[in-house]
Amino acid sequence: MSEVYTMITITSRAKLPDFLTLYEKIQLPLSLVLLGYGTAKDEILDMLGLDRSEKAVLLKTVTGETWKDVKWNLRKKLYIDVPDTGIAFIIPMSSIGGRRELAFFLTGQDYRKGEESVMKDTTMELLIIISNQGHNDLVMDAARGAGAYGGTVLHARGTGVNRAELFFGISLASEKDVTLIVTQKSQKNAIMQAVMQKAGMETPAQSIVFSLPVTDAAGLNTGNDENA
């Protein structure tokens, strides 16, 4: 796929409304919001008299042209280059499961299909599966049936779903499960197809799946480690 990226924005929970408002104004409303904490140790926070930093992570899908516009707005309107404002970055996507799902991810963005983007010399992929909350068993049963070993589930909330519903013509739940599965590239297509068929948009899970290239990994017992 040509110039399609996962855009990740990390900011404080207090500043989250500013980012959501900006993205809405520039016609980029659809995203997933995950909540987390900063990683400073408690004793350091106590010494400085600070509370633990509460963070928000936004996931969006953008084209290369959209990213240029987003970056300009982040710098000019939210002053993202000022320390402690936040950070935004993009990761190339290697594939998305299905044309309709691609249209959903790129709601309102201009896109012309090109060659699939694959990083050279990568042997593994990170599959990201977004599904309605409470239906992860359906997702993992499909994935394991196609060779996946297991996954990690995060809870998230979708934003901008009303506009996406009008564009996509289906009803969407705002509460989401995000399942992360790392797999060998040779298994990627089979797992994605299984999830689309058995837990896809026509099922209660309404799953959408895409993949990101993994350049290296440790702790995965694939049987192919040269130095094992």
Over 70: is that where the pLDDT of 110 sits? yes
Q: Tokens in use for 215?
A: 């350049």
DSSP for 34-57, written as a single string: EEEE----HHHHHHHT-PPPEEEE
Domain count of the chain? 1
pLDDT at residue 54 in the model: 78
Closest-CA residue to 164 (of 201, 136, 135): 201
Is-contact 175 133, C-beta < 8 A? yes
Residue 224 domain flag: no
Q: What is the pLDDT of residues 5-41, one digit of tens each?
A: 888 888 888 999 999 999 989 888 667 888 776 655 5
Residue 225 domain flag: no
pLDDT at residue 182 in the model: 86
Over 80: is that where the pLDDT of 142 sits? yes
Q: Tokens in use for 106?
A: 């790129």
Residue 56 domain flag: yes
Residue 91 domain flag: yes
Residue 26 domain flag: yes
Residue 29 domain flag: yes
Over 90: is that where the pLDDT of 200 sits? yes
Is-contact 8 58, C-beta < 8 A? yes
Half-sphere exposure of 78 (CA within 13 A, CB side): 25
What Å distances lie between residue 93 and 10, 62, 80, CA to CA?
19, 10, 24
Burial class of residue 51 in the structure, from the number of CB atoms within 10 Å of its CB (0-12 exposed, 13-18 middle, 19+ buried):
exposed
User: Which distant-in-sequence residues (6+ apart) come within 8 Å of 55 by Cβ?
Assistant: 10, 11, 12, 13, 35, 36, 37, 38
When pLDDT is averaged across residues 175-197 and rounded to a whole number, the result is 92
User: Which distant-in-sequence residues (6+ apart) come within 8 Å of 12 by Cβ?
Assistant: 53, 54, 55, 56, 84, 86
Q: Domain range holding 197? A: 4-214
Chain position carrying tokens 């002053």: 79
Residue 190 domain flag: yes
When pLDDT is averaged across residues 90-95 and rounded to a whole number, the result is 82
Residue 190's CATH number: 3.30.70.120
